[in-house]
Amino acid sequence: MFKKLEDVIKFIKENDVKMIDIKFTDMFGKLYHITIPSKNFSLKTIKEGIGYDGSSIGFKEVESGDMCALPDITTGRIDPFWDTPTLSFMCNSVEADTKQMYHKDPRTVAQKAERYLINSGIADEAFFGPEFEFYIFDRVSIENEPCSTSFRIVCEESISAREKGEVPTPGHKMVHKQGYHQSPPLDALYNLRSKIVEEIEKFGISVHYHHHEVGAPGQSEIEISLRPLCEVADATMAIKYIVRNMAEKLGKTATFMPKPLFMEAGNGMHVHQFLSKNGKNLFYDEKGDYANLSKLALYYIGGILKHGRALTAFTNPSTNSFKRLVPGYEAPVNLFFSLANRSAAIRIPKYAIDPQDKRIEYRPPDFTCNIYYCLAALLMAGIDGIENKIDPGKENFGPYDIDIFNAPDKIKKKITPLPTSLEESLAALEKDHEFLLRGDVFTRDLIESWKEIKLEGEVRAMKNRPHPYEFQLYYGV
């Protein structure tokens, strides 16, 4: 939107902007913000940033917590949810004194991955496009106390809420796991989704479409156009912000949690991607042996699948992630590729036949990821595949154009499975992370910190807590 500071100052005056909101993310992809009056926004703000305590969001220790958020003026957009006219910027977190880039800052990692791609000479841009799956509920109550652990979800589309009289409703009910592309009146969220899409488009993000997803009580999907890595990561943060705030504004609540409901479809983040050089899509080859994919594209696929188990530590970094990655749903559990096969980890969209549309879709990720780390890790794995000419066919990664769940055992035995837990994925990262360190994109310190925090704060924390279902199983033993 803006290229120069003068453009920003002019916009502030012409649009009577009162506040400037500085947004940045922590290691886990959580969004934070600081707000300053617009009269205080200047060249100094851009060069020196706004100071904050990095120890409070997990970046640093208390004794060395000072950091600064440097606004990127190209990301400037009016925030639609403020009563006071407010201009919002995404930021990089930097060292407070030297203003040097901070190696754990997610946006910095994404930018380093983009530079590494350019320096490799392979391509000059990596395009990505996440699919946004989320649930919209009416009410959610959560309790985690020593003598009480529970959650309760109320959704106007759920059969249980209607039968219990928790929501006023006529007789129409959506059948369990049958929400995909349902039309009104079964789809009760179409107006809300349209309002969300309106705000997303006002934010300068092009939307392909929106629709009801498989999950009967409240699951929705929005798909956007592909964009360069860091740009689409910023857009992802904006879209999650818009979805949550618009739902809240209209009296509902939205979640991107991978598996909020037992026996319903989970929320994935299927990531479409391709590489480009001088405006040409490098994944297309009219004479390609499979699905018009170039050799480069196949090597890229080989890299992602070769490192797929380690990648889950960044693409699916929560204990809840692995409640979605289970057999019996569309979420993949095996590392192979295929044309139009939704049980594959990498699907080649059959409808993407134009040379400029040729792409792959990596299906395991979910939105508990830090989008900057996730996309950077995928790109680094793909580059490794290209540089080392990892042939997916020779590595038993396919293509397998079959229903893998009903495949013969001799084929199943050849295929590498995804990890089945966060702990297993972190162990895979421990064994396989050298590809992430190239070009100093990820650092050893970042990876070690990631593993330690995830193990202590999530894996062990979950293991130590009694689960309500355990009471059903064992209380009367």
Cα gap 111→126, rounded to integer Å: 11
- The answer to whether the bond into 185 is cis (omega within 30° of 0) is yes
Q: Give the amino acid at 119.
A: N
Alpha-carbon dihedral angle through residues 279, 280, 281, 285, given to the nearest 10 degrees = 180
Q: Among residues 269, 221, 273, which one has the least CA distance to residue 243?
A: 221
CB 313 within 8 A of CB 436: no
For the domain covering 125-474, report its CATH number: 3.30.590.10
pLDDT of residue 169: 60
The single-letter code of the amino acid at 100 is Q
H/E element holding 312? helix 308-315
Identify the pLDDT of residue 15.
Answer: 96
Chain-centroid distance of CA 178 in Å reads 25
Q: What was the pLDDT predicted at 235? A: 98
Which amino acid is located at 354 in the chain?
Answer: D
Checking phi first, is residue 197 left (phi over 0); if not, alpha (psi -120 to 50) or beta? alpha
DSSP letters of 252-301?
-EEE--S--STTS------EEEEEEETTEETTB-TT-TTTTB-HHHHHHH
Indicate the residue type of 21.
D
Q: What pLDDT shows up at residue 327? A: 83
CB 312 within 8 A of CB 423: no
Residue in the block written with tokens 């380690």: 310
Cis, peptide link before residue 327, omega less than 30° from 0? no
Residues of the chain with CATH 3.10.20.70: 5-102
Phi, psi of 125 (to 5 degrees): -150, 145
Q: What is the DSSP letter of 54?
A: G
- In total, the chain counts a number of residues equal to 477
Written as one string, the DSSP assignment of 95-129 is ETTT-PBPTT-HHHHHHHHHHHHHHHTS-SEEEEE
Judge residue 235's burial from the number of C-beta atoms within 10 Å of its C-beta, 0-12 exposed, 13-18 middle, 19 or more buried.
Answer: buried
CATH number corresponding to 5-102: 3.10.20.70
Contact between 451 and 426 (Cβ < 8 Å): yes
Tokens of 31: 């969004």
Phi, psi dihedral angles at 259 (to 5 degrees) = -140, 80
pLDDT at site 170: 61
Query: So which residues are the catalytic ones?
Result: 53, 131, 133, 213, 221, 270, 342, 361, 363
**In the chain, ranges of CATH 3.30.590.10 domains:** 125-474
Where the chain has pLDDT below 50, the residues are none
